Structure 1
Amino acid sequence: MDLKIFERLESEVRGYIRSFPVVFRRATGSLLFDEEGRRYIDLFSGAGTLNYGHNNPVLKQRVMDYLQSDGVIHGLDMATSAKKEFMEAFEAVILKPRGMKYVLQFTGPTGTNAVEAALKLARKVKGRPNVVSFTHGFHGVSAGSLSATANRKFRDAAGVSLGNTTFIPYDGYFGPDVDTMAYFERMLEDPSSGLDRPAAVIVETVQGEGGVNVATLRWLQELQRLCRRFDMLMIVDDIQVGCGRTGTFFSFEAAGIQPDIVTLSKSLSGFGLPMAMVLIRPDIDAWKPGEHSGTFRGNNLAFVTAAQALRSYWSDDSFTRSIQDKETLVRDWLENMVQNHPEAELSVRGRGLIQGLVSARQGLSNRIAAHAFANGVVIETSGAHDEVLKLLPALTIEEDVLREALDILDRSVAQAVADEPADRQQAGARVIKFGGKNR
């Protein structure tokens, strides 16, 4: 596989190509094919951008029809038929059935721009600069969103100080016996805690990049209560785990909460086209015209596919039920891997179709991912130490393809364990510890 042109001309910043060193030529559904015709099952889904699979035929047809009709492609924030169609579908299919009232802000087409807009608006509304984020949180890599991102690797690349953010322990950070919401509440109550009064709290209900850390529903409910009590806006970053990834369209629905602001991107367009949006409680929509701008804040082709995805998959609860069925299948299979490979010191965590196979053994998850790719499965790792093998299959993946991928992962675990020297297998590889406890 010839990668010389990428090595010669592309910046050293390139990342995923190093984990998946082939040239991909085409893709359909949950399958990728390289230039040599080799087939791969995709459990990565563009880091959660392809919830409906590659080249979904229903959405692809809408793209082709729209292009053939000379529909507007670039429209800034002007009114277009494509935007009108999306807004009507989003209101009818998503907002009204859930009793939600939000206005829609279309930002530049990346998730980090949606987060930038959300943070700017919160500070504007409350007149306070400080924002609370959480340990292991990831919200983007532009300056404002990077300030709310916890991972040192990303923060060190900024080149400037990153302020106006206070990090609070996420649910389970110190293990199951420590209530981090009680800690946060005490910090807010105490005028000598050193916590500058926050304008907002930004949170992922499931931390994807952070290691598939799942907040309990009670913890999320308590967070909303604190936001109301202490006059903070609640921002839910649903960029990776929204659009059905946890089973419901929004990841926070099961908790019964209604955030003040929600950020969406990744699978919002449904087709891998760049699109980002901020949902804003109407009474805090304090923007002046053009105050948060961007040349590409009107991707009309993405509006077209996004509207079609809503109508095709979210008009009733059948899609949610299918995701729940696949969640059960994946979870059972992963739990069997834990039992089948006790020497690997594995555990499982996740919600819906974002599931993590966690290893306390240093480097094991990366070796599993490498074997999986060699065996024909594309999958990534996450977490502070890359200790989590993160499964992000398309929500539309066929059951037989999913079972094949899980079987390959099972074999890849065995291969990765066999790679370890005998003395490490007997003594145990270095155990990664979090908060003084193994997780």
Structure 2
Amino acid sequence: MTQKTDMNIFAQMESEVRSYCRSFPTVFTKAKGHKMWDEEGKEYIDFFSGAGALNYGHNDPLMKEKLVEYILSDGITHSLDMATTPKAVFLEEFNNTILKPRDLNYKVMFPGPTGTNTVESALKLARKVTGRTDIISFTNGFHGMTIGALSVTGNSFKRKGAGIPLTNTVTMPYDNFVSDELDTLEYLERFLDDGGSGVAIPAAIILETVQGEGGINAARFEWLKKVEAICKRWDILLIVDDVQAGIGRTGTFFSFEQAGIKPDIVCLSKSISGYGLPLALTLIKPEYDIWEPGEHNGTFRGNNHAFITATAALSYWKDDSFENKIAEQSKRIYSFLEDIVAKYPQLEGEVRGRGFMVGVCSAKEGLAGKVAAEAFSRGLIMETAGPNDEVFKLFPALTITDEGLEQGFRIIEESVESAVNPKELVTNA
């Protein structure tokens, strides 16, 4: 009989900073597709997907096969930014399968293995290109946990963790931040136009087309187009942080495709490796690729195992079938959430998001967290988002089956029912 892990080891040895293991208090041991299992053998449907790092699910068969084959052949694992066969193959496939069909022309930078690495490199490059220092970001944006990325992040709790003042950034209201009636970009333009506003022309504007950690806030396509126009008018670089919203999560490979915009710099990480392996890309329009060799580097930017799985993941995008599947299932997910909000007015809920990046915002304090906790007890993993954890969000794997979706829907509805209509405790008189 396999010995079970003593949960106390995490409390005794691991830092108090740990978070997800508090929300999901069990020891996981196995994962496949859209499912996970713990040491007790309990099965969970995964509507969390590694916070968007597992868009293709767990242990995709093709990626696993290619990775194991590569490891057994003694292929290069670590190489900094030296030239390797896996990197060359990935670059070629990425250009042919993703960039060229979308009429996008970018140089590819490997800044380091995480989302915050790509954001840091984007901010640094924008300042180098323009010679300006300030960056405009938006309310409720989340861009990472290192100092530069934190400076353009809205969450006050995360910002406080920096321990120092976060400077050279200006925060502007995101689309619909105040109300549906207020044009937040008219407000932004007024600041840029007026020499007395105290806002200097920035090096860049950075945004997420759908804000993940900030509460599943989806910007309208017209709003995104107007941001791009403002950037062009003022010679400001537009940075789109597609770390969480990209790689199919919002319906298309890049989250900005349907808006018809072409950012100057694009930040990718999380699911770009396909398999959950650390990898990040910074995509740069060629005219802005003015780095000196070694001016921005990192020990683990050449993760060859991730190049192998990332190349295999691109096979999903060879034709339109995968994107069409995402579109069809996205309709079902959104429709399900609209039905839940209508059926349970006690939620005081609002459906948010786009594609497979959606959730329900509840005006009832603490209710979204209760729904997520109830779901976990019933065998479904999902997390909350927003400045007050007011949104329970659905991040299923893009490869999930219709049956898997329906199983998840049933658990979520049961969890909402339990959260809004808790059963009275029966006590003996």
With the shorter chain as reference, the TM-score category is over 0.9
Pick aligned residue for 2:222 from 218, 221, 224: 218
Matched, 1:6 2:10: yes
Corresponding residue for 1:333?
A: 336
Counterpart CA distance in 1 for 2:234 and 2:350 is: 37
Deviation at 1:2, TM superposition (A): 3.1
CA drift at 1:418: 2.0
Q: Which residue of 1 aligns with 2:347?
A: 344
1:362 aligns with 2:370: no
- In structure 1, the residue matched to 2:325 is 322
Equivalent residue, structure 2, for 1:396: 399
Q: Determine whether 1:166 maps to 2:170.
A: yes
Which amino acid is the alignment partner of residue 410 of structure 1? E
Which of 78, 99, 103 is the matching residue for 1:99?
A: 103
Superposed CA deviations along residues 348-368 of structure 1, whole A, max 9, x for unmatched, are 011010011110000000000
In structure 1, the partner of 2:68 is 64
Counterpart residue number, 2:382: 379
2: CA distance, partners of 1:289 / 1:107:
12
Cα shift at 1:344:
1.7
C-alpha distance in 1 between matches for 2:24 and 2:339: 27
Measured in 2, the distance between the counterparts of 1:340 and 1:224 equals: 39
Once residues 86 and 344 of structure 1 are traced to their aligned partners in structure 2, the CA distance between those partners, rounded to angstroms, is 46
Matched, 1:42 2:46: yes
Matching residue of 1:187: 191
CA–CA separation in structure 1 for the residues paired with 2:400 and 2:173 = 35
* 2:213 matches 1:209: yes
Shift of 1:421: 8.7
The 2-side partners of 1:247 and 1:417 are apart by 31
1:270 aligns to what?
274
What stretches of structure 1 of length at least 5 have no aligned partner?
Answer: 423-439
> 1:317: Cα distance to partner?
1.0
3-state SS, counterpart of residue 419 of structure 1:
coil
Counterpart in 2 of 1:134? 138
Q: Residue 91 of structure 2 corresponds to which residue in structure 1?
A: 87
1:143 to 125, 142, 147: 147
- How does 1:273-288 map onto structure 2 within 5 Å? 273-288=277-292
Task: Decide which of 49, 52, 55 is 2:56's aligned counterpart.
Answer: 52
- 1:74 is matched with 78
Quick check: 1:306 aligned with 2:310?
yes
Q: 1:419 deviation in Å?
A: 3.1
Match status 1:28 vs 2:32: yes
Asked if 1:234 corresponds to 2:230, the answer is: no
Alpha-carbon distance between aligned partners in 2 of 1:343 and 1:247, rounded to the nearest angstrom: 30
- CA drift at 1:420: 8.9
Query: 1:425: which partner in 2?
Result: none
Q: Distance in 2 between matches of 1:370 and 1:81?
A: 45
Q: Tell me, in whole angstroms, the C-alpha distance in 2 between the residues paired with 1:66 and 1:316.
A: 26
Q: What does residue 248 of structure 2 align with?
A: 244
**Residue 85 of structure 2 corresponds to residue 112 of structure 1:** no
Corresponding residue of 2:129:
125
- Equivalent position amino acid for 1:327 in 2: S
1:153 counterpart = 2:165:
no
How does the TM-score come out when normalised to structure 2? 0.97
Aligned amino acid, residue 379 of structure 1: M
Match of 1:296 in 2: 300
Cα distance, 1:68 vs structure 2: 1.1
Q: TM-score scaled to structure 1, two decimals? A: 0.95
Partner Cα separation in structure 2 for residue 79 and residue 109 of structure 1: 17
CA root-mean-square deviation: 1.1
Aligned to 2:421, the other structure's residue is in SS state helix
For 2:262 and 2:421, locate their aligned partners in 1 and report how far apart those are by CA, in whole Å.
Answer: 48
Q: Which residue of 2 aligns with 1:437?
A: none
Task: Give the aligned residue type for 1:55.
Answer: N
| Contiguous gaps of at least 5 residues in structure 2 | none
How far apart are the structure 2 equivalents of 1:152 and 1:349? 22
Question: In 2, Cα distance between the equivalents of 1:402 and 1:8?
Answer: 37
Pick closer, same or farther for the CA change 1:160–1:407 going to 2, 3 Å. Answer: same
Q: Which amino acid aligns with 2:122?
A: A
Q: Secondary structure at the match of 2:176?
A: coil
The answer to whether residue 397 in structure 2 is matched with residue 405 in structure 1 is no
CA–CA separation in structure 1 for the residues paired with 2:269 and 2:406: 29
- Whole-angstrom distance in 1 between the partners of 2:54 and 2:329: 16
Residue deviations 1:112-132 (CA, integer Å, cap 9, x gap): 000000000000000111000
Aligned length in residues: 421
